[in-house]
Amino acid sequence: MKGIIHVFFDLDHTLWDYETNSRETLTDLAHQFDIAQQVSVEKFIAVYEKVNEKLWHKFNNNQIDREHIHKYRFPQVLRKLKIHVNHKPEDMTHFFIENCSSKSGLMPHALETLHYLHQKYPMAIITNGFPEAQRPKMKASGLDAFFPHVVMSETIGYRKPDLQIFEYAMGLLGAKPHSSVMIGDNPKTDVRGAEAAGMKAIFYNPTGNRKSITEWEIQSLNELMRIL
Per-residue pLDDT band at 210 (split at 50, 70, 90): confident
Angle separating helix axes 41-60 and 66-81, nearest 10 degrees: 150
| Average pLDDT of the chain, as a whole number | 96
Whole-number pLDDT of residue 200: 97
Residue 16 makes CB contacts below 8 A (sequence gap 6+) with 105, 106, 107, 137, 141, 143
Is 75 within 8 Å of 33 (Cβ atoms)? no
Residue range 101-125, pLDDT digits in tens: 999 999 999 999 999 999 999 999 9
CA atoms within 13 A on the CB side of 68: 13
Whole-number pLDDT of residue 173: 97
**Percent of the residues in the chain that have a pLDDT greater than 70, as a whole number:** 100
Q: C-alpha angle with apex 175: 117 to 181, nearest 5 degrees?
A: 50
Question: What secondary structure letter does DSSP report for 186?
Answer: -
CA distance 228 to 226: 6
Whole-number pLDDT of residue 69: 93
Whole-number pLDDT of residue 201: 97
Instruction: Please tell me which residue, 171 or 130, carries the higher pLDDT value.
Output: 171
Whole-number pLDDT of residue 212: 75
Q: C-alpha angle with apex 2: 121 to 187, nearest 5 degrees?
A: 80
Mean pLDDT across 23-48: 97
Per DSSP, the three-state class of 183 is: strand
Residue range 164-184, pLDDT digits in tens: 999 999 999 999 999 999 999
CA distance 95 to 188: 30
Per DSSP, the three-state class of 15 is: coil
